[in-house]
Amino acid sequence: MTSSLANRSSLIRYAWLSVAAALVTIGLKAAAYLLTGSVGLLSDALESFVNLAGALMALSMLSIAARPADEDHPYGHGKAEYFSSGVEGSLILVAAASIGYAAVERLLHPRGLEQVGLGLAISVVASLVNLVVARVLIRVGRRYDSITLEANAQHLLTDVWTSAGVLIGVGAVALTGWQRLDPFVALLVAANIVWTGVRLVRRSALGLMDTALAVEEQAALKRALQPHLVDGVVYHALRTRQAGARRFVSLHVLVPGGWTVHRGHELLEHIEADIRQAVPNVTVDTHLESLDDPASWDDVSLDRAAELQRAAATRPGPPTDQGAR
């Protein structure tokens, strides 16, 4: 994974690639449906419209995420990427409902398929387009740590496997003559799409709620801190979060009270440098405190004022004169 925040704007061209792929597959799958009358192929075409909407949303949000930090957004615009994956997940759920409705209708009123061979051939070409573009987006998304491109790629891959299932369904109808196999496969497609949509929405919600860094990154962070815990040095109030590609880490470092400011500052500089080496694309905030000052231990929780109020409430008050009534 490369540190590439300075080149976020370069990701926009990959969103355009996704838009182009969606337009191509919509045309191909719509043609396949018109030729065959297959509700399974119709489900594929409907999902491609979702792909197009997701690609357009990704294009918009990547453009916003590439903007530098400003006075109104001092931490940058990276969280915009979560809106893209969240909206895409929601659109997937809407498409799944539409596919399910069409499949149930066809189960109740079966209809024969026409020109199956040509329709399947067109659908295979559309799936290959999605597969190639998805592989490119996965590679770039992982390299540049873009949740938007990764979500888009995973959706396209789901579309590929979905198309494979639909092809199997249409082929089974052609071989067996059992018309209800086609809508049954379409229902399975809808179930698969629901799962993809739920995962995308959940991942986006977690990002917008300032979820802590992944377990592996937290472990790397603590390993980076470990060599500095000598001469009585400790840390607390370690907090992490992620906004798009950017990670944020804050912690308090406690040193012996006899240390000079210069020595403490040097230690923090080394700690921050080691954290930046261990965790990609990270902004580190450190706060120096004295081990000898009791107040240093009053701000372990997120809300220091609330912590002090709780401490005051549990502290025994002055003795009262029970005899004065």
Residues 6+ apart with CB under 8 A from 239: 212, 249, 250, 251, 302
pLDDT above 70 for 79? yes
The CATH code of domain 5-208 reads 1.20.1510.10
Task: Give the dihedral sign, CA 120/123/125/128.
Answer: negative
Asked which of 38-47, 92-101, 210-219, 264-273 is least confident by mean pLDDT, the reply is 38-47
pLDDT above 80 for 312? no
Averaged confidence pLDDT in the chain: 79
**pLDDT at residue 29 in the model:** 78
Contact 8, 144 (CB under 8 A): yes
pLDDT above 50 for 72? yes
Asked which of 21-35, 39-53, 73-87, 210-224 is least confident by mean pLDDT, the reply is 39-53
Confidence class of residue 142 from pLDDT cuts 50, 70 and 90?
confident
pLDDT above 90 for 300? no
Asked which of 28-42, 168-182, 303-317 is least confident by mean pLDDT, the reply is 303-317
pLDDT above 90 for 266? yes
- Average pLDDT of the residues in 212-237: 93
**pLDDT at residue 39 in the model:** 67
- Average pLDDT of the residues in 75-92: 80
pLDDT above 90 for 259? yes
pLDDT above 50 for 235? yes
Q: 246-255 and 234-243: which strand pairing?
A: antiparallel
pLDDT above 90 for 271? yes
Q: Where are the alpha helices (DSSP H) in the chain?
A: 12-36, 39-65, 80-108, 116-144, 147-176, 181-208, 215-225, 261-278, 304-314
The CATH architecture of the domain made up of 215-314 is 2-Layer Sandwich (3.30)
Q: How far is CA 45 from the centre of its chain?
A: 25
% pLDDT > 90, the chain: 23
Structural domain boundaries of the chain? 5-208, 215-314
CA 312 to each of CA 211, 265, 291, 319: distance values in angstroms, whole numbers, following the listed order? 31, 32, 21, 16
d(CA 151, CA 158): 11
End-to-end CA distance of the chain: 74
- Average pLDDT of the residues in 169-182: 69
**pLDDT at residue 322 in the model:** 42
Contact 196, 218 (CB under 8 A): no
Between 219 and 192, the higher pLDDT residue? 219
CB atoms within 10 A of CB 35: 20
**pLDDT at residue 304 in the model:** 60
